[in-house]
Amino acid sequence: MTTSSRPLLLADALLVDPAAGTETRGGLLIRDGVIADTGPHLTAASVGPDVEVLACGGKVLAPGLVDMRCFVGEPGYEYRETIASGTAAAAAGGVTTIVCQPATDPVMDDPAIVDFLLRRARDTGIVHVHPMAAITKKLAGREMTEFGLLQEAGAVAFTDGARSVTDALVMRRAMTYARDFDALIVHHTEDPALVGEGVMNEGEFSSRLGLGGIPVEAETIMLERDMRLVKLTGARYHAASITCRDSLAIIARAKTEGLPVTASVTINHLTLNENDIGSYRTFCKMSPPLRTEDDRLALADAVADGTIDCIVSDHDPQDVETKRLPFAEAHPGAVGVETMLPAALRLVHAGLVSLPALFRALSTAPAALLGLPGGSLAVGEPADLVLVEIDEPWVLNRDTLRSKCKNSPFDEARLTGRVAATFVAGRKVFSLSA
C-alpha cells in the first residue's frame, strides 16, 4: 500500500488515544505513513510550508478500527461481497483493518487459499486485510487443518466462523495444537443441538410471534465446555460472539482464574434487542440471536469494565433472495462494517461507555490480540486513523451503503456521529466531503 510523500498535519482535533486512555486537544503529524508527533503544540502555524494542513475543527481523531469478524466473498461468493466493495465499506466506516472469515468457497483451510486472499487484498483492497483460517477442514468439525502452514502463509487466527466445533475431542486437540504454535482460537459458542429449529431468542416474545426459540443455554453450555478445555490445554481462546448476561459471568470467572480467555460482542447485540425484530424484520435475524434488553445493557457494561475485550461488526452480506423470505426461512446475518462506529456511538451518547473505552474495544484490543500494528496514537505507530464528527445527526439510507448487499438492521435509523475521513498508512482512503 502506497503512502503519501508529503507530511500531513491534522490540526485542532480531539485526540482520543485508547492505548494511553487520554483525550487531548491538539494536532497529529503524519510523515512517511507513520505518526511522527502529536500534542497541543502542533498547530498550523507551528509547521513549515512543506507540510499539508487539514483543519479538523475539534473533530475526534482516533486509531482506525480493527474489525476481527468481517466476511468478504472472495473466493466463491463475489455476488455477496468482494474485497474491493468490502474494503470500501470498511473505509467509509472508519475501519482500517478487517480480518476475513474462512467460510469461503473453497473454504480457507489451505495455505494456497490464504495466499490467494492476500494477493487479491494487495491488488484490490484499500484497507489492511488479514485472513482467519479454518480450525477444521471444510469447517466440518472433524479433521484439523495445518495450523503451522496456515500461520506461515499469513493466517492471524483460527476459527470455524459461524459454526461450532461440537466434538470435544477435536476441540481439545485443536487447542493443544494451537497452544504449541501460540495461535489464537476464535470460537462460535452455540450448541447446534440446542439451537434446533430455533430462529430467535427463546422467551415470551418468540412465543407471541410463533417462532422457534434458542435458549441462552445453547451458548453457555458450549462456553462452559470450552473454559474446561482451555484450563486443560492452556490455549489462547477468544469467544467470538457473547450475547447474554450468563455468558459474561463465565468469561469473568475464567479471567479471574487467570485463563488466557478473551471475548467479543457484535455491534448488533450491543445496540439492538429481540424487540427490534418487530413484525418479523428479517434484517434483524442474527446468529446467535438478538437477546433481551437486560442482556444488551449487561453487554454494554461489560465493554465499559473490560470483561468484553472487542466489538466486531460481524459483517455478513446477504442478498435479496436469502433475506426476502418469511422470518423462519431467511438467512441470518447483516452488513455492519460501515455502520459499526456510528451505531457504537449510541453507547457514548447514552453515557454507558466512554470514548477511550469504546475505541479500546474497537481498535486497541483487537490489534493487540491478533498481534497487528495500530490501535494507538503513539509516535512511530502506523498512521491508520479515523476522523469522526461525533455530534452530527443523520439518517441511514441503506441504498447509500458501499457493500454489495444492503441488509442493514439500521436502515432508516437515526444516528448521531459520522465518519468524516479515514486514513490508512497516512493516505486518505475515505472522505465524507468527497
Query: How many residues in the chain?
Result: 434
Looking up cell 442482556 gives 295
Per-residue pLDDT tens listing for the chain (434 residues): 545 579 999 999 999 999 999 999 999 999 999 999 999 999 999 998 999 999 999 999 999 999 999 999 999 999 999 999 999 999 999 999 999 999 999 999 999 999 999 999 999 999 999 999 999 999 999 999 999 999 999 999 999 999 999 999 999 999 999 999 999 999 999 999 999 999 999 999 999 999 999 999 999 999 999 999 999 999 999 999 999 999 999 999 999 999 999 999 999 999 999 999 998 999 999 999 999 999 999 999 999 999 999 999 999 999 888 988 999 999 999 999 999 999 999 999 999 999 999 999 999 999 999 999 999 999 999 999 999 999 999 999 999 999 999 999 999 999 999 999 999 999 999 999 86
Secondary structure element (H or E) that encloses residue 395, with its range: strand 385-395
Q: Is 269 labelled a binding residue?
A: no
Cell numbers at residue 54, please?
487539514
- Residue with the three cell numbers 460472539: 241
Strands of 18-161, DSSP E: 22-31, 34-39, 52-55, 60-63, 65-70, 95-100, 128-131, 158-159
Q: Quick one: 156 exposed, middle or buried, by C-beta within 10 A (0-12, 13-18, 19+)?
A: buried
The residue whose grid cell reads 483492497 is 125
Rounded Cα distance between 133 and 111, Å, is 9
Helix axes 217-233, 168-180, angle to 10 degrees: 50
E-strand stretches of 41-111 = 52-55, 60-63, 65-70, 95-100
Sheet holding 310-312, edge to edge: 158-159, 184-187, 236-239, 261-266, 310-312
- Residue 411 appears among annotated catalytic residues: no
Task: List, in order, residues 6 or more apart from 283 with CB less than 8 Å away.
Answer: 323, 334, 407, 408, 409, 411
Q: Flag whether 278 is marked binding.
A: no
Q: Residue 3 has what pLDDT?
A: 53
Could you give all domains of the chain from N- to C-terminal order, each with its CATH number? 64-376 (3.20.20.140)
SS3 state at 167: coil
Record the cell numbers describing residue 182, joined without a space.
Answer: 501460540
Contact 196, 211 (CB under 8 A): no
Task: Consult the annotation and say whether 333 binds a ligand.
Answer: yes
- Given a contact cutoff of 8 angstroms between Cβ atoms, the answer to whether 429 and 126 are in contact is yes
The grid cell for 282 is 428479517
pLDDT at position 434: 67
Check whether 331 is labelled as a binding-site residue: no
CA 242 remoteness from chain centre? 13
Residue among 12, 191, 314, 384 flagged as catalytic: 314
DSSP structure class, residue 364? I
pLDDT at position 368? 98
Residue 133 forms beta bridges with which residues? 158
Instruction: Report the C-alpha gap between 284 and 333 in whole angstroms.
Output: 8
CA distance 254 to 243: 17
Return d(Cα 346, Cα 326) in angstroms, integer.
30
Rg over CA atoms, the chain: 21
How far, in Å, CA of 110 to CA of 136, rounded?
Answer: 11
Which sign, positive or negative, has the C-alpha torsion 265, 270, 275, 278? negative
How far apart are the C-alpha atoms of 240 and 255, rounded to whole Å?
A: 16
All three cell numbers of 399, joined, read 441504498
Peptide bond into 289 cis (omega under 30): no
Q: What is the DSSP string of 257-314?
A: TT--EEEEEEHHHHH--GGGGTTT-GGG--SSPP--HHHHHHHHHHHHHTSS-EEE--
3-state secondary structure of 422: strand
Strand partners, 15: 24, 61
Q: Are 252 and 327 in contact (CB under 8 A)?
A: no
Q: Which three cell numbers stand for residue 334?
A: 447483516
The model scores a pTM over 0.75? yes
